[in-house]
Amino acid sequence: MYLCLIIRSQNYQGTIQNFIFLKVGVTGHQKDKKLSSLSELLREGGHEKSNNLIMKMDIESAEWDVFDETPSVVINQFSQIVLELHGLIPDRKEEGPSLILKVLEKINETHQCIHVHANTYDGILWVGDNVLPDLIEVTYVRREDVHDRLIKNKRRFPTKLDYPTFEGLPDLKLGTFRLIEFL
């Protein structure tokens, strides 16, 4: 389970030389000597006061534990978060719907989802005419950075910028993928 933290330098000039890529082991509640929490990684790297970090995370279902353990104030240090969310089909995950909902609500407190793409590597669940992939790729931006520019989503996913996960297989049509509030 690895996390790629991309640390933008303060004197960003638009070149790759001003980025530091860290491939590090990350964990949440489950401790391991080879892995660190997100808070620990930022502290160890001298970035605990940084507020313009970028995260790219694909940690094969451990994201739920990492985000559950990570305080919202630490999550808010990231201006952009790109991650894969695994185990979304109810009968296929160990985490349970309550942990997934709790983590998504936590991320949504500080960040806004701006893009979603179904990854067809794992299974899918059809609920009526709607599809729920077990694995989705999500891009978030920090709300405070874009609060005056957020509009209700009218785009249908996948967009023209998306490509199928596997060449020759169609993408899953997610529709407008808007937040639905349950009463």
CA distance 166 to 168: 6
The more confidently predicted of residues 90 and 101 is 101
Pair 118, 131: CB distance under 8 Å: yes
The more confidently predicted of residues 105 and 1 is 105
CA distance 1 to 177: 28
Tell me which DSSP letter residue 149 carries.
T
Map out the domains of the chain as residue ranges. 2-146
Q: Tell me the pLDDT tens digit for each residue of 66-84.
A: 999 999 999 999 999 999 9
Output the pTM of the full model: 0.82
Section 132-138 average pLDDT: 90
State the average pLDDT for the chain.
80
